[in-house]
Every structure is written in structure tokens, then in C-alpha cells.
Amino acid sequence: MAPWKPQQAVGIYIAYLICNTFEYIVPAPSSRLNEATVFLCCILFFAQALRRFFESAFLSVYSDTKMNIFHYLLGIIHYVMVPCSILIEGPSLTTLKRLTLMQWFGVALFVWASLKQHECFRILSAMRRGYSGDVLTHSHGIPHGGWFDYVACPHFFFEIIIYISIWLCQNLKWNTWPFVVIFVTVNQMIAASITREWYIRKFPEVYPTERTALIPYIF
């Protein structure tokens, strides 16, 4: 799977940030979610956007491989439409109600998955940097440490968990968001499978084939 180039990744997350800001100022036409739920999901998504923008712009080290234009456009469309799927489910943000236990669990899961995903990106970045932080190489290698010892793409796995955690913050209501979760899950499963096969072809003698693609010991 081709790594993202800086201008591509940054462009996607700028669109992400703009759409999340838009959620705070435009009231929705329906109210299947209460104000507290919409506000909570907006905050979590905005935090996700800020973190991924930072990682894409300042942490990741990119090779000279280019992203497929259709993949790039899909990323733009995805991050424009996903915030809107929260916006259309709730009223304007006027008052906050007490959060449920499931929502608090969703927040905790979001924080945990975000930290673990950030750890994955730090491991990937460290493979191309020296102790001083300077970039030493742009070549590919086999990542080790953390969840990389179990799966090829743990950062994809935690991306799915992040989206599931936001669904928990909506009290698992069957609205627009489950379809977002399904899309992200299928997309990441396909990407992880392709990436694992690429590792095996690139490093046929040394890649640990006991690593599954996405979910430890399962897939």
C-alpha cells in the first residue's frame, strides 16, 4: 500500500478540521441525538482530526511513492461527509444533558485507541529517524514493537476502534453512524490484507508470517 505524501495527508485532514468546525455553528434539521451526544461526538472527532493532522504534517516520514488519485479523492470525500453524518442526527447545541455510562465508556475507549494508534505512528516514524530525530532513510522496513508484533497494521485496527467508540458515544443508536463504521471497517480490512501481502512479498525470508493482517490471531 503506497504511503501518503505530506501534501496529500495534510490536505485531507484540513478538510476534516473545516467540516468539524462547521458542525459547531450549523443546526441540524433533525434531532435523533440529543445535544450532549452531538457535542461529545464533535469534540472526539475534532480531537481525532487534530491528532492526525499533527502526525501527518510533523511525525510521519514519507517515501517517494505517490498515492493513487482515487484513494486521495476517497479520503477527501470521506472526511467531508463523516462529520455531516453527526450533524444531521442532532439539534443545535444549546444545552448539555448528563452523559450515560455507555458514553463515558466510549470516551475512555476513544482515548485508549487514539493513544495506541499514535504509538503505532511513532514506531513507524522511528524506523526512518535517528536518535536525534533527523530523517536517515526513506526505505521500507518491518516494524517491531507494540501491536506490530501481532498484526501487520495495528494502526488500521485502532482506526476501527475509534469509530466504534464514537458509536458507543451515540449509545449504539442505529442512525447514520453504523454505516460509517461498516465502511471504515471494510476499508481498513481490505487495506490491511493488501499491506500484509505486500510485506510478505517485499521481505519473503524475514517477515514473521504469524502476524495476522488486522486482528491478532483472527484476521
Residue 219 within a domain: no
Helix (H, G, I), strand (E, B) or coil at 151: strand
Given this model, what pLDDT does residue 97 score? 60
Residue 210 within a domain: no
pLDDT tens, position by position, 38-54: 889 888 988 988 898 88
How many CB atoms are closer than 10 A to CB 204? 9
**What is the reported pTM?**
0.75
Residue 188 within a domain: yes
The answer to whether the CB of 152 falls within 8 A of the CB of 15 is no
Structural domain containing residue 126: 6-202
Given this model, what pLDDT does residue 141 score? 94
Total tally of structural domains belonging to the chain? 1
Instruction: Name residue 212's beta-bridge partners.
Output: 151
Alpha helices in the chain (DSSP H): 6-25, 35-54, 69-87, 101-126, 154-168, 177-202
> If you average pLDDT over every residue of the chain, what do you get?
82
The answer to whether the CB of 156 falls within 8 A of the CB of 184 is no
Residue 98 within a domain: yes
Residue 31: partners with Cβ closer than 8 Å, 6 or more residues away: 89, 90, 91
Question: Which residue type does 66 have?
Answer: K
- Quick one: which of 9, 90, 111 has its CA closest to 42? 90
pLDDT tens, position by position, 75-116: 777 777 777 777 777 665 444 567 889 999 999 999 999 999
DSSP code of 149? G
Of 3-7, 65-69, 99-103, 198-202, where does mean pLDDT reach its minimum? 3-7
Residue 216 within a domain: no
